[in-house]
Structure 1
Amino acid sequence: MQIRDFDVDLFLREYWQKRPLLIRNPWNAWRNPLDPDELAGLACEEDVESRLVTRYAGGLAMESGPLAEDRFSKLNGSWTLLVQAVDHHSPEVAGLIEPFRFVPDWRIDDVMVSYATDGGGVGPHFDQYDVFLVQGLGQRRWRVGPRCDAATPLLPHDDLRLIVDFEATGDWILEPGDILYVPPCFAHDGVAVGDDCMTYSIGFRAPSRAELVEGWCEHQVDGLGDEDRYADPDLPIQSNPGEIAAPAIDRLHAMVMEALSDRDAFARWFGLHNSLPKYAETDWRPEEAVDTQEVRGLLAQGVPLSRNPASRFSFIRQGEQVILLFVDGHCFDCAGDLAGLAEKLCAGSSLVVDPGLSASAEVIGLIAALIDQGSLAFDEGD
């Protein structure tokens, strides 16, 4: 599905991470990509993250999946089902990401899908990430409030971060195909208007400073030797032995900063860290290592390659000739033909490799490695 008449430059300049925006059905032809029964089926599976939020007289209650198959037949009143990473299981839902790829892929998290009965919702809350809320089926009333932060009062609840005093600054009813963009930390509350309400939440991630510092420091510590210690061969006599003198602090601080200041090493670590898959799914991983001769033959025939929708692909340029390709927590140094191939692998969900590259041992080796780790597969049809 394609979005028409959407000014990306204007959106990024005026709205992205600045203020909410309602976009009335901009699709060429909107079609709900997932049946409610399919969503319910996913919520019953062991390897799928799901939540059920029910409304009762005293407020909201949440239970985590997997849900029993007969759970839905026992529900009464208002309730909401939320299922994470549905794009990993449905190509049609994964297709919803494509129009929003003006945001770099490394920022994409997943597509969460919710289904709600009349009055269903998760209450007024705020998130730490950008989200495009696409109304798929039925109607939902969205109210958006001011920006929140860690000091915003929350209701006492074990599972849900609900805002105590929610005052809406915007109030809209979304019809199928409508989109509401909500920046990070803006309060919002969605309530189903009527039954059979489905919403697709295309979420983006942003690492926190704490997460980056912790991960990068831990990575660097693993590579430091025990003999790399503080030294002061030019130690002077101090007037007071109890003082930690400024030259010592300078030297200690320099030891730490030098260990963390290698930008190229940080780039490689971040590529690995950021490409780790959200869930440890192995459905695409073959039971045995792929035969390189078979790979060569399929490439020569022009058989397309498809990316595992659960996989994360990205690359970083290292100089003019080398590209570091990151796929599902693995790094591949790519130069020459491999550099061009790496860029194409990151550009879209499928690729036909130039048959002329089928004679390249490096190309065969890279594709075979990605197939073996479950990130790629040949699309041979039936």
Structure 2
Amino acid sequence: MKKLPLLGDLTPAQFLRDYWHKKPLLIRQAIPGMKAPVSVDALAKMATENFVESRLITNVDGDWQMQHGPLTALPARTQAGWSMLVQGVNLVDARADALLRQFRFIPDARLDDLMISFATDGGGVGPHFDSYDVFLLQAHGKRRWRISAQKDLTLVEGMPLKILKNFVAEEEYLLEPGDMLYLPPHYAHDGVAEGDCMTCSIGFRSPSYQELGEAFLQFMADSIDLPGRYSDPDLAVSSKPAEIPRHMLDTVIEEMNKVRFDEQDVTIFLGEHLSEPKHNVFFTGPVKPLTMGRFIDTIGKRGVALSLKTQMLYRGKHVFINGESFAVGRADKSVLEPLANARVLDGAALAGASDDVVEALYTWYQDGWLMLG
């Protein structure tokens, strides 16, 4: 596997072996000539939308304040000490999406989103830690990062932000455009803008097992089959009417133990769960969709591309897209698997697509999940 300038001339395998989930890595000029994927004005416009998650954070003499978007007004650019954070910029901007996709040496099932923060001089979110891996890529201006491997992750009580109470920096770096800092989970860090600056944060999904367990039980509720109804033909007279009978308890335990799940159940659950769009993601289909015939002619010439908002995954014979799943045969998989991996397909690759695949592509196109090449 080739070395990547993005990783400081490490191969992805070397990075994963030596740094991922283990220790920080500072990469000078990970992206030489780095330019911010969006302007400050464009970022501020995104923050006014109700389908974009955003926050405004200010700190005046130690008084931290946080306002959730939509952000209809921002402090003056001349005012020091404030930060605007916009999540999921990759979902609404193609350049931001292209930047995020440079990190696809990590599986899409783990890759979350690209957050962009703009801060005026002295702006930041305070010393904190994340529960997931993160790449902090400087896009514009300078930001000074102080980091620590400290085990004391006690938070200040009563704050609107999760700020570490006893942060003690062990290392310090000044990042300029193109520089990038990787931090593993639970690594304490504090980034402060030196003048106006913009930072791109590439974050990764790390769901808690509690979250997965609760979602899996909901998923299984639609698939379990326990026929019959409780009965007790040999019921004995009770001298303690308020006590749950032993027979009832044993019988229900026996029936509950019949609930089983296997690898396929977990595969389908995980694929649907991980590809499910976030609550603020909405799709818009074409105003005047092509007829099926014209659609087939057009994709034969132009190909197709997944929407920026679409998440498409697969495992074995199962394909998942935006929370839905279906099983496919080998021939159909040979078309859909490359689409999931490359997120685009040219017309030649679609030439041998079955009627079922073409029908699925047409439905996705009508729903706004898929665009013409």
TM-score normalised over the length of structure 2: 0.87
Which of 12, 22, 39 is the aligned partner of 2:16?
A: 12
Secondary structure of 1:100's partner? coil
Match of 1:209 in 2: 209
Q: Deviations over 1:88-117 (max 9, x none)?
A: 121111111222111101111110000111
For residue 43 of structure 1, what is the amino acid of its counterpart?
A
Looking at structure 1, the residues matched to 255 and 150 of structure 2 have their Cα atoms a distance apart, in angstroms, of 40
2:331 maps to which residue?
337
The number of residue pairs the alignment matches comes to: 365
TM-aligned CA deviation for residue 224 of structure 1: 3.4
* Shift in CA distance, 359/65, structure 1 to aligned 2, threshold 3 Å: closer
Q: More deviation in 40-49 or 286-295?
A: 286-295
Quote the Cα distance in structure 2 between the aligned partners of 1:188 and 1:79: 18
| Structure-2 residue corresponding to 1:52 | 56
- One-letter identity of the residue aligned with 1:273: H
- Do residues 192 (structure 1) and 196 (structure 2) align? no
Q: In 2, are the aligned partners of 1:53 and 1:79 still within 8 Å (CA)?
A: yes
Q: Which moved more, 1:39-48 or 1:256-265?
A: 256-265
Judge conservation of contact 1:358–1:364 (CA < 8 Å) in 2. Answer: no
Contiguous gaps of at least 5 residues in structure 2: 236-242
Structure 1 unmatched ranges of 5 or more: 236-241, 318-322
CA contact (8 A) 2:116 2:199 kept: yes
Indicate the residue corresponding to 2:263 in structure 1: 263
Q: In structure 1, what residue type is equivalent to 2:22?
A: K
Find 2:110's aligned residue among 86, 104, 107. Answer: 107
What's the CA shift for 1:283? 4.5
Amino acid at match of 1:155: V
With over 3 angstroms needed to count, the CA separation of the structure-2 counterparts of 1:258 and 1:374, relative to structure 1, is farther
RMSD: 3.0
Report whether the alignment pairs 1:327 with 2:331: no
SS in structure 1 of the partner of residue 259 of structure 2: helix
Aligned positions of 1:1-382 closer than 5 A: 3=6, 5-69=9-73, 71-73=74-76, 76-146=79-149, 148=151, 152-193=153-194, 195-225=195-225, 227=227, 255-256=255-256, 258-287=258-287, 291-301=291-301, 303-317=302-316, 323-354=317-348, 357=351, 360-379=354-373
Bigger CA drift: 308-317 or 342-351? 342-351
Distance, in Å, in 2 between the alignment partners of 1:188 and 1:368 is 47
Q: Is the 1:62–1:159 contact (alpha carbons within 8 Å) kept by the matching residues of 2?
A: yes
Please give the alpha-carbon distance, in whole angstroms, between the structure 1 residues aligned to 2:350 and 2:139. 43
Does the CA-based 8 Å contact 1:142-1:172 persist in structure 2? yes
Q: One-letter code of the match for 2:28?
A: R
Q: 1:238: which partner in 2?
A: none
The one-letter amino acid of 2:209's match is R
Query: Which one-letter code corresponds to 1:44 in the other structure?
Result: T
**Percent identity of paired positions between Structure 1 and Structure 2:** 35
Q: Structure 2 CA distance, aligned partners of 1:254 and 1:168?
A: 56
CA contact (8 A) 1:312 1:328 kept: yes
| Partner Cα separation in structure 2 for residue 257 and residue 22 of structure 1 | 51
Secondary structure in structure 2 of the residue aligned to 1:259: coil
Q: SS at 1:44's partner residue? A: coil
Q: Hey, what's the Cα distance between the residues in 2 that align with 1:118 and 1:132?
A: 22
CA distance in structure 1 between the partners assigned to 2:274 and 2:14 by the alignment: 28
Secondary structure, counterpart of 1:92 in structure 2 = helix
1:267 CA drift (Å):
0.9
Task: Check whether the contact 1:143–1:171 (CA below 8 A) recurs between aligned residues.
Answer: yes
Deviation, 1:296, is 1.3
